[in-house]
Amino acid sequence: VNDELELALAASPREWALRLHRHVADHGGARVRVTVLQAADALAERFDVFVADDTTSFLTRHLVAELHALGRCVLGVYDPDDPRAKGDLLDLDVDDVIERAAAPEAFLACLQALAPRCRRDLTASGVAEAAPGTSRARTRPRGRVTAVASPSGGCGATEVAIALAAAADRRGEVTVLVDADELSPSVAQRLGVASYPNLRAAVDAVEHHHGQLGDTLVAVPHARFAVVPGLAAQDWLQLRPPEAINVVAHLAVLRQQVVVNVGPSIDDLGESGPARHALTRTLLSVADAVVAVAAPGPVGVARLLAWLADLRALAPATPVHVAFNATPRGTFRRAELTAEVSRATALASLSFLPADAAVTRASWAGTLVGRGPFRRAVSALAAQVLPHYPSAAVS
Ligand SMILES: Nc1ncnc2c1ncn2[C@@H]1O[C@H](COP(=O)(O)OP(=O)(O)OP(=O)(O)O)[C@@H](O)[C@H]1O
Ligand SMILES: [Mg+2]
């Protein structure tokens, strides 16, 4: 029996979440079981304490009451610079509050103090039987969020993200592809579709109720999946990471598979000045799975390993799949790449995608990649990365 305190963290781009996550990964004392994107996730998962921000959009009095009914505690994290934040959290009836700048040790002390109040043995279904009406029946799980990146840039993240979305689409799952590469968004151009409404418009729909999110999705010709095109040049300066998380969380309610093409760089440029890679960092930290598309060869491997180390700080427990793209055939080279990467970190899967003239043709024509070795290899990758959405639950 593992009686370590189990936590659910509301997805937050603020530093406390990352610090706490890293601290317990390194020193124990608690375990982060899940990062939660929306209320339904918090109700479905088993854990002891739910830790959420004063900016967590779905933290309501009703959710806190439902969590209490399930035997869970709620710790609210507030920004002391916002004079109303602490009071607002206490009004929701959370069990305790803590300043967001508090040290991880202080967070742990606060969490440990809540432990005796938590009753982990209760599950959502258990409570539903005991007290009908306290827990909303979840008729269907949310969609899966998969982030696709190319650590060195230019080695095929966009091509692989599009092909993964197309593979899920061919499997019959309702899919959306989001272009969240803040450096060089190119999904719309690559597919020859309109570049607006884009991610900015999706944020406006979710945050400011300017239209419906579903109406901002751009259709892809000859496919059923839709696209959210990337930001225009300077838009990333205005987009706040929590807004992007909210869009993705909402898309995961509308769609069974949410594939997100993120940018290549994730190094933290510090808190001074605009957070250049914040969008990519944030989305990687909330994804259910990450695909790193790497260039085969010594330089590609070196960049991949550095990137994986940074990723582990952001998303310590997220399954990571590595795909070497446009890999030369020889088995010797593949074995060498496999050895180098597996020595460094545990991967959920490692695959090799071939260079394929069908990709070149499709990229010139602005179409989806047709049958051929690349499409076959990405379908096999999709089988590993994107678990089938439970079909019984599809509405
Ligand atoms: N397996 C492949 N076979 C042939 N061409 C490929 C293959 N993979 C990618 N390409 C081509 O290589 C180029 C770069 O790919 P892509 O745009 O997907 O990379 P990226 O990692 O998204 O780059 P960026 O950093 O600019 O976003 C594109 O022209 C693409 O069509
Ligand atoms: Mg790209």
Q: Give the pLDDT band of residue 168 (cuts 50, 70, 90).
A: very high
Structure tokens at 16: 């406390």
The predicted structure's pLDDT at residue 270? 62
Residue 300, ligand 1, Cβ within 6 A: no
Q: Are strands 175-180 and 226-228 parallel, antiparallel or unpaired?
A: parallel
364: left (phi over 0), alpha (psi -120 to 50) or beta: alpha
Q: Are strands 349-353 and 320-325 parallel, antiparallel or unpaired?
A: parallel
pLDDT of residue 225 exceeding 90: yes
Going 379 to 311 to 258 to 370, the CA torsion angle's sign is negative
Which ligand lies nearest the alpha carbon of 187? 2
Residue 182, ligand 1, Cβ within 6 A: no
Residue 327, ligand 1, Cβ within 6 A: no
The full length of the chain comes to 395
Q: Which residue has its alpha carbon closest to ligand 1 atom 16?
A: 156
Q: pLDDT by residue (tens digit) across 7-59?
A: 999 987 778 887 888 888 888 889 888 788 888 888 887 889 999 999 888 89
Q: pLDDT by residue (tens digit) across 260-296?
A: 999 998 887 665 555 678 889 889 988 999 999 999 9
Q: Which residue has its alpha carbon closest to ligand 1 atom 24?
A: 154
Cα torsion for 101, 102, 104, 110, to the nearest 10°? -140
Residue 357, ligand 1, Cβ within 6 A: no
Do 159 and 181 form a contact (C-beta atoms < 8 A)?
no
Distance 293 CA to ligand 2 centre (A): 11
What are the helix and strand counts (H, E) for the chain?
A: 15, 13
Q: Which residue has its alpha carbon closest to ligand 1 atom 8?
A: 156
The predicted structure's pLDDT at residue 122? 46
The predicted structure's pLDDT at residue 123? 43
Q: pLDDT by residue (tens digit) across 111-124?
A: 999 988 876 554 44
Quickly tell me which residue has 């719309």 as its tokens.
Answer: 188
- Residues 198, 234: Cα–Cα separation, whole Å: 13
Do 41 and 67 form a contact (C-beta atoms < 8 A)?
no
Residue 355, ligand 1, Cβ within 6 A: yes
3-state secondary structure of 161: helix
Distance 11 CA to ligand 1 centre (A): 31
- Residues 248, 153: Cα–Cα separation, whole Å: 23
In the sheet that holds 175-180, the strands lie side by side as 218-219, 226-228, 175-180, 257-262, 144-149, 289-294, 320-325, 349-353
Which ligand lies nearest the alpha carbon of 293? 1
- Residues 271, 254: Cα–Cα separation, whole Å: 34
**Closest to 76 (Cα-Cα) out of 111, 37, 35:** 111
**Which phi and psi (to 5°) does residue 320 adopt?**
-120, 130
Convert 91-121 to b/e letters by CB count within 10 Å (16 or more is b): ebebbbbbebebebeebbebbeebeeebeee
The predicted structure's pLDDT at residue 269? 66
Distance 156 CA to ligand 1 centre (A): 4
Residue 57, ligand 1, Cβ within 6 A: no
Q: Which residue has its alpha carbon closest to ligand 1 atom 9?
A: 156
The predicted structure's pLDDT at residue 391? 57
Distance 363 CA to ligand 2 centre (A): 12
Structure tokens at 132: 């009908």
**Mean pLDDT, the chain, integer:** 86
Distance 155 CA to ligand 1 centre (A): 5
- Residues 303, 341: Cα–Cα separation, whole Å: 11
Q: Which amino acid is at 312?
A: R
Do 36 and 9 form a contact (C-beta atoms < 8 A)?
yes
pLDDT above 70 as % of the chain: 90
The predicted structure's pLDDT at residue 69? 80
Which ligand lies nearest the alpha carbon of 149? 1
Which ligand lies nearest the alpha carbon of 372? 1
More confident residue, 1 or 106: 106
**Cα 54 from chain centroid?**
20
Distance 157 CA to ligand 1 centre (A): 7
Distance 260 CA to ligand 2 centre (A): 11
Give every CB contact of residue 65 below 8 A, 6+ residues apart in sequence: 93
Going 25 to 30 to 31 to 33, the CA torsion angle's sign is negative
Q: Give the pLDDT band of residue 147 (cuts 50, 70, 90).
A: very high
**Which phi and psi (to 5°) does residue 236 adopt?**
-65, -25
Do 219 and 226 form a contact (C-beta atoms < 8 A)?
yes
51: β partners: 9, 75
**Closest to 31 (Cα-Cα) out of 40, 22, 42, 39:** 22
Residue 181, ligand 1, Cβ within 6 A: yes
